[in-house]
Amino acid sequence: MIIYPTLELMNGKCVSLTRGRLDEPVIWHRDPVTVAREFAAAGASWMHLTDMDALAGSGDNDALVAEIIRAAGIPVQLGGGFRSRERVADWIDRGAGRVVVGTMAAYDPDSLRALARSYPDQIVLSLDIFQGQVMTHGWRDASAFAPDTFLDAFADSPLAGIIVTDIDADIEDSDGSVGVIAGLAAKTRHPVIARGTVRGVDDVARLRYVPNIAGTLIGRALQARDVDLAQALAVARPEAGEVAPAFI
- pLDDT at res. 178: 81
243 within domain boundaries: no
Complete DSSP assignment for 112-163: HHHHHHHSTTTEEEEEEEETTEEEETTTTEE-S--HHHHHHHTTTS--SEEE
242 is catalytic: no
pLDDT in tens, 153-198: 999 999 999 999 887 665 555 444 688 889 999 999 999 999 988 9
Q: Which of 53, 128, 170, 203 is catalytic?
A: 128
- pLDDT at res. 25: 80
247 within domain boundaries: no
244 within domain boundaries: no
Q: Which of 8, 53, 166, 170 is catalytic?
A: 8
Q: Which CATH number does the domain housing residue 229 bear?
A: 3.20.20.70
60 within domain boundaries: yes
- Phi and psi of 164, rounded to 5°? -110, 125
31 within domain boundaries: yes
Question: Domain count of the chain?
Answer: 1
| Domain encompassing residue 211 | 2-236
53 is catalytic: no
18 within domain boundaries: yes
- pLDDT at res. 22: 66
* Residues of the chain where predicted confidence (pLDDT) is lower than 50: 174-176, 242-248
